[in-house]
Amino acid sequence: MKRLASIAVLAVLLPAGCSTPPPATKVRLEPIGPRLAGPSRGREGFLRVHSATTDEQSGQIPYKVHTPYWVYTESGEKLRSIPNHVGVADQAPMTIRLPPGRYLVLARADGLGLITAPVVIAGGMMTEVHLTHTGMEVPASVAEAELVRLPTGKVAGYRVRESVKTRTAPAGKP
């Protein structure tokens, strides 16, 4: 009887400690990072994901709110679920803080469904991922080689530069 009770306890506890890898997606982007390269400045960096939007209504007023997304470590451990808006009237994506490192973002992209976007977070810098039908606005001075594009041709973000790649610490739990 004791053995059966021990097995029952293990069956309940083991799944809670296991991490499930992120689901496979049809689209995996090239790594996206902050625009300006350089050493990390600070213990945390910032991530803003402009995920696909959905129509919400508050009274008679329609709103387009960003869909939720998930942040995983580079090795596939789920770190956070991000609602990506505050209430039905919030049309701006959330900005979150993360320690410097490499992460995987799973988010919905307009017209593409769930995609994987590897991101690099550098201390004191903002990394933005644009997955809406409009993509990211790009200054004319930015070279094509600096951009990561969605399969639709829209710009999803800035390509990770070597200086950012080598100066970030491995991702860990925030």
Q: What is the pLDDT of residue 55?
A: 86
- Residue (of 46, 92, 85) closest to 68 by Cα position: 85
Lowest mean pLDDT among 56-65, 83-92, 160-169: 160-169
Q: Which residue has the higher pLDDT, 2 or 26?
A: 26
Span of 3-17, 55-69, 84-98 with lowest mean pLDDT = 3-17
pLDDT in tens, 26-69: 999 999 999 875 566 778 999 999 999 998 877 888 888 999 99
| pLDDT-derived band at 85, boundaries 50, 70, 90 | confident
pLDDT value of residue 35? 86
For 18, the token pair is 């296991």
Least confident of 1-10, 11-20, 147-156: 1-10
SS3 174: coil
Per-position b or e across 113-129, b if 16+ CB within 10 A of its CB:
ebbbbbbbbbbebebbb
Q: Report how far Cα 31 is from the mean position of its chain's Cα atoms.
A: 11
| pLDDT for 72 beyond 60 | yes
Distance between CA atoms of residues 49 and 67, nearest Å: 10
pLDDT at 101 over 50: yes
Q: How sure is the predictor about 113, in pLDDT bands with cuts at 50, 70 and 90?
A: very high
DSSP string, 100-143: SEEEEEEEEETTTEEEEEEEEE-TT-EEEEE-STT-----TTS-
Whether the Cβ atoms of residue 116 and residue 105 lie closer than 8 Å to each other: yes
pLDDT value of position 56: 83
Beta-carbon-side half-sphere exposure of residue 157 (alpha carbons within 13 Å): 27
